[in-house]
Amino acid sequence: MNISSALLYSLMIGSLVLQGCAATSSTRSDTAPAAGVPAQTAASAASGSKLAGATVPESDGKPVIAADTKDNFDAVAAAIRQEMQSGGRFAFVSKTGRQTVDTKLSDMGNLFSQYGSVQKMDPAAQKRLLGDQNSINEVLARYDNNRRVCWQETPVGTHFPKTVCRTLGQIQNERENSKQNLDQTRRLMQQQSQIMNSPAPNGGH
């Protein structure tokens, strides 16, 4: 399969493979939706992920870059950037990941501005476009709020471990809430300490 065919196939199918595990050996991640979240198949992929009218294309419930013309790409790029904002599907993308996505989207935009469509690109441009697309897909897949992460936990009072699963979005939100609660507790303790150490009114009388 030549570069042109491979690129067109990739743009149409947008297949993503999530690789690797989380930090510990007992933790693994996959792309299966969490309980209560319906799986999105290729037949319904056109709906994508939406935020304030933006749409990110999907395939089998996974985000993809799927565009064959400049107009289509501009719409997808705008949707991705919007979904990386607070409250979006990719809101927790790391600083490095955001730089990668922004750089690759800009490069893809330049290619579409120059050629207009994938069919008009020469092999070198098509290869470059495919590389940009793969880099973006990798970042979006890794930081997708819908990605499910599973690990083993042994409940207190038992020796039998059980599998616990959360979506990445749930995990990140729990961390944010814990951090906010901890910060609030520290502020209250500091205020209490300042009150206790402050001089008593009227010299203590």
Q: What does the pLDDT look like over 178-202, one tens digit per residue? A: 777 777 788 877 877 777 777 766 6
Which pLDDT score is estimated for 17? 31
> Which range scores top for mean pLDDT: 63-77, 128-142, 186-200?
128-142
Average pLDDT over residues 87-115: 95
DSSP string for residues in 70-88: HHHHHHHHHHHHHHTSTTS
Q: What does the pLDDT look like over 26-61, one tens digit per residue? A: 445 554 433 333 333 233 333 455 544 557 877 777
Rounded distance between C-alpha atoms, residue 122 and residue 91, angstroms: 35
